[in-house]
Each structure stands twice: as structure tokens, then as C-alpha cells.
Amino acid sequence: MQTITTVAELRGALANVRDKRVGFVPTMGYLHDGHLALVEASRAQCDVTVVSIFVNPTQFGPTEDLSTYPRDFLRDEKLCRDAGVAIVFAPEEREIYPAQFETFVEPGELAKSLCGAFRPGHFRGVATVVCKLFNMVRPDIAFFGQKDFQQCAVVRRMALDLNLPIEIVTVPTVREPDRLAMSSRNRYLNKEERRRALSISRGLLAAEAEFRVGERNCEKLIAIARQHLDEVDRLQYLELVDADTLEPASGPLSHPAALCAAAYVGSTRLIDNVILKP
């Protein structure tokens, strides 16, 4: 496995494998089994897997956790090596955002609801860095986690709108044994918060279970999830949205939808979702 920190080196390394299928897994590091599921999916479908590790400043708001975001590069490197990654691309901020950087990718409607409503500029930062990383790696397939459902939608739309010749694959959310969605931010939780954080997945999975046995009424499905969500400190949103347009679903569900939640437990903001396919 090669660890690479500059775009020039990355292009050099990838020049030798252009006849192979290149899979790409963008991350912000502090890797867990959710990230490794993306690596596994890439290894299954591609010949060469590139993982980027870059805590992207443009997707953090001014009061968010950029400076405290968990980092452990040596551990990440070992996890990647053990998982069969070919290249870890871990650039410094200046490599991605040189002085006088001023060109951004601006997503549209898909970025306005859900997390976009509470994190202004977040998806602009995501779309920009993902587009840049796509241009650096030029992968055949890029892998994203369903946990960040809106991010998947925004990236998929961007790839279509900007004619990026890259297949976008969404990998199901990996959960802890007690069903909490894995997240680098889970490490912020103390024991008591960790216990209360479980109410998020409990709510979403309860709604999913009712959906599986035939409940199709959107309002009822939301109400089932909400019952469990009283243990979080602040529920930011709990919404059932059309899986393609992210517009609110209502009445009887006839089209795939995502039940999405964002909540604060202590000072940690967590997100999760389940996809309901009638």
C-alpha cells in the first residue's frame, strides 16, 4: 500500500493502473467498520482501491467540530493496509485548497432540506471536495455510505449534472451490535449519552419494522419513530422524504422513501436513516 500526500504523486501512481478498474472511497478518517464496508465493496468491484483521508474544512460551519474532529492517521493507515487498499491519499489542506482558492460546486434543491437546512454551506463544501477528489483520482466507481443519505443524493446529482464519468454506489449503513449507526463522531459520546443515542436507531428501525409488516401511512410511520426519540437532547429533524427528490412524503407510501433523523445527544450531532421501499 502506498501513502500519498500530493496530487502530482497520486496522478503518477494512478498513471500505471489506468487500464484497471479504479474504486474510490472518500473519507475524513478515524475509520470504522462503516468505512471498511465501502472499501470491501470497492475491492469486490474494482482492481485498485483508493481511500482518501481528508477532514474537509469547507464542509464545516464556523461553530462546528472541525478543530476537534477525531484523527488517528497511523491507525487509519493500518486499517487500510489490512483491508487491501492500494493507495491512501492523505493531502494537507493546502494541497486541496491552494491560496486564492475561490471556485466551488453549488448543489441545488437536494441540498436545501434535511441537513442542508441546519448546516448552511455544508453540501457546497461536500460537493466541491468530492468533485475535486474525483478529478484527482478519476475513479471508475466511487463508494458512499447510506448513513449520509442526502450526501449520496447530492453527489449522485452532481455526477450527472457535471457529466462526471463515475458510477456512484451507495453501501448500506453499518451498525454497532446494538444498532447505533457507526460514526467517527460516536467517540464524542460518554456512556450515558451513548445509551441515549440508541433511541435514534431504535425509532427508525421500529418504523421500518412496522413498514415491513404493512404500515404505509407516512404520518403513522413518522409517529412510530418519534415515540422512541424522546431520549435525545434535541431532535433537529425527523422526516420521511422521497428517496429520489428528498421532498416530504405524505399519505400512503407508494414510492421508495427515506426516514431520516438528525439529533443532538449532549453536544454531539448524530444522523441516521432507514430506506423504505414499497
Only segment of 97-105, 159-167, 170-178, 229-237 that touches ligand AMP (CB under 6 A): 170-178
Residue 51 C-alpha cell reads as 481511500
Of the candidates 10, 22, 36, 38, which one interacts with ligand AMP according to CB under 6 A? 38
Of the candidates 27, 52, 201, 273, which one interacts with ligand AMP according to CB under 6 A? 27
Alpha carbon distance 42, 81 (integer Å): 14
| 168 binds ligand AMP per the rule CB under 6 A | no
Q: Is 32 a catalytic residue?
A: no
What is the smallest separation between the CB atom of 205 and ligand AMP, expressed in angstroms?
Answer: 14
What is the smallest separation between the CB atom of 156 and ligand AMP, expressed in angstroms?
Answer: 12
Q: Which is nearer to ligand AMP, 34 or 125 (CB)?
A: 34
Strand partners, 269: 264
| 145 binds ligand AMP per the rule CB under 6 A | yes
| 173 binds ligand AMP per the rule CB under 6 A | yes
- The answer to whether the CB of 137 falls within 8 A of the CB of 50 is yes
Q: Which is nearer to ligand AMP, 80 or 171 (CB)?
A: 171
Residue whose CB is nearest to ligand AMP in the complex, by number: 145
CB atoms within 10 A of CB 2: 12
- Amino acid letter, 230: D
Q: Which is nearer to ligand AMP, 175 or 226 (CB)?
A: 175
| 119 binds ligand AMP per the rule CB under 6 A | no
Of the candidates 23, 34, 91, 125, which one interacts with ligand AMP according to CB under 6 A? 34
What is the smallest separation between the CB atom of 183 and ligand AMP, expressed in angstroms?
Answer: 5
- Cβ contacts of residue 50 below 8 Å, gap of 6+? 10, 14, 22, 23, 24, 25, 85, 86, 87, 88, 89, 137, 139
Alpha carbon distance 64, 88 (integer Å): 26
Of the candidates 4, 14, 22, 28, which one interacts with ligand AMP according to CB under 6 A? 28
257-265 and 268-276 as β-strands: parallel, antiparallel, unpaired?
A: antiparallel
Count residues contacting ligand AMP (CB under 6 A)?
17
What is the smallest separation between the CB atom of 39 and ligand AMP, expressed in angstroms?
Answer: 10
Of the candidates 4, 10, 22, 37, which one interacts with ligand AMP according to CB under 6 A? 37
* Torsion, CA 175, CA 180, CA 184, CA 185, rounded to 10: 170
Strand partners, 143: 169
Could you list the beta-strand ranges (E) of the chain.
2-4, 22-27, 48-53, 87-89, 141-145, 167-171, 234-242, 257-265, 268-276
Question: Measuring CA to CA, which residue among 149, 145, 143 is closest to residue 113?
Answer: 149
Of the candidates 140, 148, 193, 210, which one interacts with ligand AMP according to CB under 6 A? 148
> Could you list the active site residues?
35
Binding site for ligand AMP (CB under 6 A): 27-28, 34-35, 37-38, 144-145, 147-148, 171, 173-174, 181-184
